[in-house]
Amino acid sequence: MSRPADNREQFRPDDHPHDNFLLTTVVGSYPKPKWLNRADELVDDQDSKFDAEDLEEAHDDAARVITHEHERCGLDTVVDGEVRRNEMVEFFAERIPGYEFNGPVKVWGHNYFDKPSVSSPVSYDEPWLVDEFEFTDNVASKPVKVPITGPYTLGNWAFNEAYETEEELVYELADLVNIEVERLVEAGAKYIQIDEPALATTPDDHAIVGEALDRIVSGIPDDVRIGLHVCYGDYSRIYPELNDYPVDEVDLELCNGGYEQIDVFTDPEFVPDLALGVVDVHTAEVESVEEIKENILQGLKVVPPEKLTISPDCGVKLLPREVAYGKMENLVKATREIEAELDAGEIDLDEPVPLAD
């Protein structure tokens, strides 16, 4: 079994209007409805009659709303906005035996992170995401992508008190992620994204991440699309090594940096599909369709159209909700216009970004 595998066409809508198909998706998180934040508070209020069952209903309602919001703006694959999750490490640490929480840790400025400790060997108990996926898949009319925080980030962003090395912990976690991916595939998942934001900040460990990914995809059928999301950092320190990763797609944050690092990926040839961030999640301004089209052309410098996926730079949960929706809507419009221009032969794939005068 080898990756990247040719598994993109299954996500092409039956009524897709163009010969060319650039897959549109989201990274994961989305702004939660304000009433859901209030529901989270109420369930912890002893004077409130709002209980865990009410909170579950609120999460279900929010998942429906965000899933349909993604569909309404035209995305080819959707996520529920991770409305049931708090933070990307904390959510999984609460579900993996071996982790414990000892209070928040100051990470920068006045920001605190509830950094967990691995106090005993980790193990797999109940599925982490299967119920979430099955609910969203039942709600959605489009294919559902499942983001999972990867084992390297789960290990690197925790205190290791149980294993001799972080590497040993990461491999144990990778085996657990493999079990979860198997459960998701059994439930019908066809698109799974491994989130590893820690990778580009500690690039000397890219070989550890590669071995962890080998463990994650072991036994997973080729028709299941496996993506890797990496955000921020100096990508030249992990490229071309990431070409050896057993994934179908690598999702990169490049818009925020003005595509200064795009040429890193042009030599040697980029092996997996490229999921390119084309809207900046750090600015509360909705990019115009024309601006996003120019950003998409940057991706065509690296891979041909049949290997290009279009997404935001990262999760959009910190943006105002109307801004997040506007970015997604324009992302889809820009992508469809680029597809039409490719069909018409109006884009020079040898020089997709015109040279400056």
pLDDT of res. 28? 94
Determine the Cα–Cα distance for residues 176 and 168; give it in Å rounded to an integer: 13
Phi and psi at 226, nearest 5°, equal -110, 120
Bridging pattern class, strands 159-160 and 23-24: unpaired
Neighbours of 297 (CB within 10 A): 20
Per residue in 1-52, pLDDT tens? 579 999 999 999 999 999 999 999 999 999 999 988 888 888 787 778 888 8
Our CA dihedral for 16, 259, 281, 92, rounded to 10 degrees, sits at 90
Summarize the confidence of residues 302-310 as an average pLDDT: 98
* Full 3-state SS string of 4-59: CCCCCHHHCCCCCCCCCCCEECCCCCCCCCHHHHHHHHHCCCCCCCCCHHHHHHHH
User: CB-based contacts of 301: which residues, under 8 Å, 6+ apart?
Assistant: 262, 263, 266, 352, 353
Q: Report the percentage of the chain scoring pLDDT > 70.
A: 96
Mean pLDDT score of the chain: 93
Residue 354: pLDDT over 80: no
Listed in sequence order, the residues at least 6 apart from 147 whose beta carbon sits closer than 8 Å to its beta carbon are 27, 28, 79, 82, 192, 193, 195, 229
Structurally, at CATH architecture level, domain 9-32+75-344 sits in: Alpha-Beta Barrel (3.20)
Nearest to 61 by CA among 86, 41, 32, 87: 32
| Euclidean distance between CA atoms 313 and 196, whole angstroms | 14
Average pLDDT over every residue of 142-155 = 97
Residue-wise pLDDT tens digits, 243-267: 999 999 999 999 999 999 999 999 9
d(CA 285, CA 296): 18
Check whether 356 has a pLDDT greater than 60.
no
Phi and psi at residue 316, to the nearest 5°: -110, 20
| β 159-160/225-230 pair status | unpaired
How many Å apart are CA 320 and CA 250, to the nearest integer? 27
**Alpha-carbon distances, residue 179 vs 125, 169, 216 (angstroms):** 10, 16, 8
Domain residue spans of the chain: 9-32+75-344
Amino acid 111: pLDDT: 67
Q: From CA 201, how far away is CA 271, in angstroms rounded? A: 22
- How far apart are the C-alpha atoms of 62 and 35, rounded to whole Å? 9
200 or 344, which is more confident: 344
**pLDDT exceeds 50 at position 357:** no
Residues 6 or more apart whose Cβ sits within 8 Å of residue 42: 48, 50, 54, 55
Q: What is the structure's pLDDT at 151? A: 98
Identify whether the C-beta of residue 281 lies closer than 8 Å to the C-beta of residue 316: yes
Give the tens place of pLDDT for each residue, 211-254: 999 999 999 999 999 999 998 788 998 899 999 999 999 999 99
The pLDDT-based confidence of 269 (bands split at 50, 70, 90) is very high
Whole-number pLDDT of residue 329: 98
Taking the C-alpha atoms of residue 314 and residue 229, their distance in angstroms, rounded to an integer, is: 8
Whether the predicted pLDDT of 157 surpasses 70: yes
pLDDT score for 246: 97
DSSP reduced 3-state for 264 = helix
What pLDDT is attached to residue 107? Answer: 59
Q: How confident is the model at residue 81 (pLDDT cuts 50, 70, 90)?
A: very high
Task: Give the per-residue pLDDT at 50.
Answer: 82
Q: What is the pLDDT of residues 85-103, one digit of tens each?
A: 988 999 999 999 999 998 7
- For the packed helices 166-186 and 130-139, what is the interaxial angle rounded to 10 degrees? 40
What are the DSSP calls for 119-153, one per residue? -S-----S-SSHHHHHHHHHH-SS-B-EEEE-HHH
d(CA 95, CA 146): 17
Task: Please check the confidence at residue 355 and state whether its pLDDT lies above 60.
Answer: no
- pTM for the whole structure: 0.94
